[in-house]
Structure formats: structure tokens, C-alpha cells
Structure 1
Amino acid sequence: MDKAFMLYQGIQKVGFSPNITTHTILINELFKNSKVLEAYKLFREMELDPDKVAYTSMINGLCKKGYVSEASKLFEEVPAKVRSVDTYSCLIDGFCKKGPIDEAEMLLGEMRKQNVSPDVKTFNIMIYGYKRRGQLDLAYKMFNEMIDEAILPDDVIYKTLGLRQLDKNQMSNKMEFAKPNQ
């Protein structure tokens, strides 16, 4: 990481401007090394407009390090057109692990209102969050919503809920049934 920052500073000294990808890589490395303040400072000092990857990296890093409130504040700055399923899922994960799960539920609702569809990862996060709190009824309800939305569960979800996987034909039939009429 030290060499990466030396190179980063070196290219700036010779007049080159690092792009958003370079900044995002460095931000991710700072979070991996638990340098949260340095990551936040680098993000704020960028002379470029952050893209969805940069915002998602910041929100994910802040949540993983326990700064869910700060991640939530940063999320509010993210333009709606830049928010992705990954951006939402990172903050939902933060709320499920270190914050009130009702915040995660509200965020999931907002996500849907903004026409951003939850994916298998989003459902996995919510199901695990409910199970962790002993709210198995809500975990199973979320599982059924997932099926209703024609999203195929992964192995992690089955293990989280302690379910046997349905064979592919059963799941395919259930998924076909769940698809909206066209």
C-alpha cells in the first residue's frame, strides 16, 4: 500500500491527474487496512465527481468498519441516478449487522420505489438479518417475496434458513408461476 501511495503522489507531482478508478482502488485499500479516516479524506479531496463504484466502495467500507450512521449520511448525498442495487445492498447490510433492521426495511422499500430491484444478495442480507435477530417468520416471508419476484435463491440462503434445496424442476415451476402475466 505504501508503494501505491508513493506512485499516486508521484504521478501527481509530474502533472498527471489520477482517475476515479485509481482513487477507488486506493480507498478500498485504505479500508482494508482499517484507515477509515484516510479513506474518507481521500474521497472528499477527490477533484472528480464520484461514480457509483466510488460511492458504493465508500458506503461498503464505512459499514464494514462500523460507521453505519456515516454511511447513511453519505448515501443521502448519492444522486438517485447513481444509486445501484449494490449501493443499496451495502447500506442495508450495514443496518442489518450494526443498526436497526427497520432502517434496512425502509431502505428496501425506498429501493423498490426508485425502481431498483433487489437481487439475490439483497435478499440474502435481509434473510440473514432477520434470522440473526430470531425473526424466522420475517426471514421466511422475505424468502417467499424473493420467490414471488422470480429470483432464484442461492446456497447461502438455503443454509441460512436450514432448508433443503428444491430440485431444479420444482424451482423452475415455482419461478414460472411467480412471473407476472404478460
Structure 2
Amino acid sequence: MIEVLCSEGDFDRIKLVFDEFKSEGFLMNASAANSLIRSFGSGGMVEELLWIWRKMKDNGVEPSLYTYNFLMNGLVNSMFLESAEKVFEVMENGKVKPDVVTFNTMIKGYCKSGLLFGGGLRFCVKLYNEMQDKGLDIPSHAYSLVIGGLCKEGKSMEGYAVFREYGHRGMIQNEGFEPDEVTYGVIVNSLCKSGRLEEALQWFEYCKRNNVAMNVVLYSSLIDGLGKAGRLEEAEKLFEEMVEKQCPRDSYCYNVLIDALAKNGKVDEALVVFKKMEDEGCDQTVYTFTILINGLFKEHRNEEALKLWDLMIDKGITPTAASCRALATGLCLSGKVARACKILDELAPMGIVLETAFEDMMNVLCKAGRIAEACKLADGVIDRGREIPGRVRTIMINSLRKAGNADLAMKLMHSKIGIGYHRMRSVKKRVKFRTLVES
């Protein structure tokens, strides 16, 4: 009955039937357990699934390989990956060993979750190695997942080795193992980020010759790599080629071209691409605005940079630490420290309080040798109650030290400035940072 109701998706009635079964105290056997775990797992009813699992233990019913696989499939379908990992480890250390279905179930879970980093990646690579050692068939999505995860963690050579193994298995076994556009995409991306641009271009041409579906990752990776290498004409040519190949251009693709143009001193051309982005209905992201704000400030086009900032806020795009840093440091270097502070203060009612913003401003002012302005900023931060004096003093010492101004850093460290007090008649006043440069 439960199996039929699960196939119909009638979960409310399933719970009623199941509650009635539980109240009757029905006996559990292996057949019933497998059926119920399979049904509840496919329906995403994890609470009921785990109740059955506990009931099996209470009734002394030994789980079979099928029971474990049904249980893991249910946990993975409901994105209980940590629980699925624990079940997998129990299987490895117990009498019932995982089979190819068990491995593929776990890999499916990582594919669905997009969990490619940290413990998720380590566990996924462990699965891949075990499947190799046991001679089990490794599905194509497992290769793509492992290659992508390794490349994104900066382990491009390990990812490339897996890629070569992937191609080798496809040639000698003739079992349909063909690298897809996802696999080629992560390899091209990794080669570009490693500075191996010519190899990336060779793989890109290989994909074209062999009718591999050309996706946005392939194009964006190369546009980014060419842009960082200063090969702007080639980058722009690929960007236009995407239209010819009917490959939709997304925000990331636009952003890498805008970034390349802005960093190569072509801010006006970057603004043209920015306008085209809007005309084509592609979402402008906080990263898009950050790139352009940075570029405009570097060319001392301060008012244009501020207009872009206002446009970003008007569009409801939430500033990030990077965008606030671009604005604050740009204004500071333009001699507009008070204006930077005012804008940052205005963000507080919006729920945006960036702890590092003032620290970034102090660092950039000290680096530029504008110690008096840095001291004035430090005093203002404390006066507004934004930071405790001790922390501001530590930031100032570090900023001076990083800027190579060790003498002032030592003077500040051994003085009462910032956190000490002195008396003026009967009034006790904090020793201001500005005395650092006045005395």
C-alpha cells in the first residue's frame, strides 16, 4: 500500500497509513524493510526511513547490500550527505561491502550538491581511487566532478592526470567514455589559470574540430586568460564569436571581458561592453560594478565612479567588501576621506557593516605616505564609536609597519596615543592619533 501511495506522491495518506501500522506494532522482516526503505527514500521521507532503519535493529533484521543501497539513495536524494557518508564508512568497515551502485549513489550526491571543496572533494577523490583499485566502472560524471574539484582547488596537474586517465580508459575499453564539454571546460579553465594559455587554446581548437558542444565555460575561460595576457583583440574576437556559435553570454563572460579592458587602461571600451550587457538583458553583478569603479578611480574619474556606485545601490545590488574597498580606497587616494566615511556610514542602516572598510582605508593612506589623513581617519572612527580604541591602534601600527614607516609604528606602540588619556585641567581626554604627526 505504501509503495503504491509513494508512486502516486500522496505523502499525507502515506503518513496516515504508516502511523496506523506503527500503532499496530507490526513485525519487521527483511523484505518489508527493503520495500519501505526504498519507498520512503524515493519519496524523500527521511524521518520515516530512519525509523524503519532503527526498527530493523530492534527486531534483529540484518541489512543486506540492497538495504544499504536503498538507505543511501534515500539519504542522498534528500541531501543528507553527511549521513550517507557515515553509512558508506559503516559498509566499508563491516560485513556488507559497497558495490558499484553504492559508489555511484555517493557520486550522484556530490554532483547534485555541487560540494567540490574540503571534505566533499577529499571524499569524492577517495571514492574515485577506490573504484579504480577495485576495477569498478567509473561513470563519466564522476570524472567531471573529480577533475573540476581538483582544478578549482588549484590542483590542476592532478586534475589533468585524471583527465588523461579518462581519455585512456575511453580508448582502450571502448565503453562510451567520452569527455564531455564540462570536462573540457574545467581543463581549459585550469590551464588558463595556470598561465598555460597556448595549451588551453589547443584544447579549445580540438573541441571545435571534434564537434564538442561549445559552452560558456570554454569561452569565458579563454577570454579571461587572453585578457590577463594583454591579448585583448583575441579576447574580443572570441566574445563576438559566441554570438555566431549561438552560445549565450552570461554575467561571468561579460565580467571577464570588462575586467580585461579595464585593467589594460581601456575603461571607455569596458563601459561600452557594460552598456551592451544591460541592452542584452544580462544581469550586471556587484563584481561588474566593482571592476568599473576600480578602473574609473585609477583614471581619476571620481565622479563617474560615484555615479556607478549610486546606480549599483539604486538597482538593489548589495555591496561586498571588495566593492566597498574599491570605493573607499579610491576616494581616500583622491583626498576625499570624509566623503568615503559618509558613504560607509550610510550603509549601516541598510544592514551593511563592513568591519574591514576603515582598515583598508588606513592601509592605503599609510602606504601613500598620507599619515596625517590616516590619523584623522583613526580618530574619527573612534569618535563615531565604530571600533574600540585598542583595535584601531593595532590597525594603525600594522598599517605603518606595512608601509615601511617603522619609526612611527614604534612611536605609536610605546605611547599612550589612541588608548591613553591626559588631563586638561579637570577634564580627562583621550590622546588623539593626530598627535603622532604633530609632536
TM-score, shorter chain, exceeding 0.5 = yes
- The aligned residue for residue 253 of structure 2 is 87
Report if the CA contact (8 A) 2:277-2:283 is conserved.
yes
The 1:48/1:11 distance shift into structure 2, 3 A limit, reads same
- The aligned residue for residue 190 of structure 2 is 29
Q: Distance in 2 between matches of 1:155 and 1:35?
A: 31
Q: State yes or no: 1:115 paired with 2:276.
A: no
Q: Distance in 2 between matches of 1:168 and 1:142?
A: 16
- The aligned residue for residue 293 of structure 2 is 127
Cα offset, 1:64, TM superposition: 2.2
The one-character-per-residue Cα deviations of 1:36-71 (angstroms, maximum 9, x if unpaired) are 111011012113121122222221222223222211
Higher relative contact order (CA 8 A, sep 6+): 1
Q: Distance in 1 between matches of 2:166 and 2:237?
A: 28
| Residue identity in the other structure for 1:31 | C
2:263 to 57, 82, 97: 97
Q: Secondary structure at the match of 1:49?
A: coil
Unaligned runs of 5+ in 1: 173-182
Report if the CA contact (8 A) 2:287-2:323 is conserved.
no
| Residue identity in the other structure for 2:350 | M
Q: Secondary structure at the match of 1:37?
A: helix
Residue range with higher mean Cα deviation, 76-85 or 132-141: 76-85
- The aligned residue for residue 159 of structure 1 is 325
- The aligned residue for residue 181 of structure 2 is 20
The 1:12/1:63 distance shift into structure 2, 3 A limit, reads farther
TM-score, reference length from structure 2: 0.37
Residue range with higher mean Cα deviation, 31-40 or 117-126: 31-40
Q: State yes or no: 1:45 paired with 2:206.
A: yes
- The aligned residue for residue 139 of structure 1 is 305
Q: Distance in 2 between matches of 1:98 and 1:158?
A: 22
The 1:147/1:67 distance shift into structure 2, 3 A limit, reads same
1:6 to 164, 186, 191: 164
Unaligned runs of 5+ in 2: 1-156, 329-339, 352-439
The 1:30/1:169 distance shift into structure 2, 3 A limit, reads closer
| Residue identity in the other structure for 1:63 | G
Cα offset, 1:8, TM superposition: 4.5
| Residue identity in the other structure for 1:35 | R
| Residue identity in the other structure for 2:178 | S
- The aligned residue for residue 72 of structure 1 is 236
Q: Over aligned residues, Cα RMSD in angstroms? A: 2.0
Cα offset, 1:91, TM superposition: 0.3
The 1:55/1:11 distance shift into structure 2, 3 A limit, reads farther
Q: Secondary structure at the match of 1:128?
A: helix
| Residue identity in the other structure for 1:153 | P
Report if the CA contact (8 A) 2:263-2:295 is conserved.
yes
Q: State yes or no: 1:170 paired with 2:334.
A: no
The 1:60/1:78 distance shift into structure 2, 3 A limit, reads same
The one-character-per-residue Cα deviations of 1:115-171 (angstroms, maximum 9, x if unpaired) are 112110100011011112221111111101111211121121222121343465633
Bigger CA radius of gyration: 2
